[in-house]
Amino acid sequence: MAFVEKHVHTREIAEDIVQNAFLRALERGGALEKEESVVAWFYRMLRNAVIDHYRKHASNERALESWAAEFERNIVLPEPLKNEVCHCVGALFAGLKPEYRDALEQVDLEEGSLRDLAERAGISENNAAVRIHRARRALLNEVQMTCNACAKHGCLDCDCK
């Protein structure tokens, strides 16, 4: 445990890595060479498990950063479209959870970045991207429940107040 914890700096992650290494050791016990020390063999498995952990973590981070950047690029609305938003959305917007409402206000209405939202809310940028996605989904669900058929066609000719 101490060997792994020294390399990952978190006891919980170290516990997961050691547990997975034990499972691998049981599965691959036949790979042990007769001259090789069991301790050295297991430490090599632990070292490889730590390396795998960092590779997986880096891969996940790159994917989330890429997704967040793409998400941020696609949120800017053209000026004419901003003035044509259905009036009922304002009332539905007020009924959202406060953190969703705040996220939509900061990112979509004030045209702030995910970084701004993350700093104000005290969360990571990746969590901010998830929050804004969920907020938009919640607003879409509200619009679809309230406006029904009109929401499916882009709120064309909507006269709800």
Q: Which residue has the higher pLDDT, 11 or 146?
A: 11
pLDDT of residue 131: 92
Q: Supply the DSSP symbol for 122.
A: T
Count of other CB atoms within 10 angstroms of residue 127: 16
Residue 101 has pLDDT above 70, yes or no: yes
Q: Both tokens of residue 31?
A: 């790979």
Taking residues 102-126, report their average pLDDT.
Answer: 87
Sign of CA dihedral 115, 120, 126, 129: negative
Taking residues 130-145, report their average pLDDT.
Answer: 87
So where are the chain's domains? 2-73, 79-152
Q: Both tokens of residue 124?
A: 């990571």
Residue 72 has pLDDT above 70, yes or no: no
Residue 104 has pLDDT above 60, yes or no: yes
Q: pTM surpassing 0.85?
A: no
Q: Which residue has the higher pLDDT, 74 or 111?
A: 111
pLDDT of residue 87: 59
pLDDT of residue 134: 92
Taking residues 140-157, report their average pLDDT.
Answer: 66
Q: What percent of the chain has pLDDT over 70?
A: 73
Model confidence over 57-69: pLDDT tens digits?
Answer: 777 777 777 777 7
Count of other CB atoms within 10 angstroms of residue 88: 19
Assigned CATH topology for domain 79-152: Arc Repressor Mutant, subunit A (1.10.10)
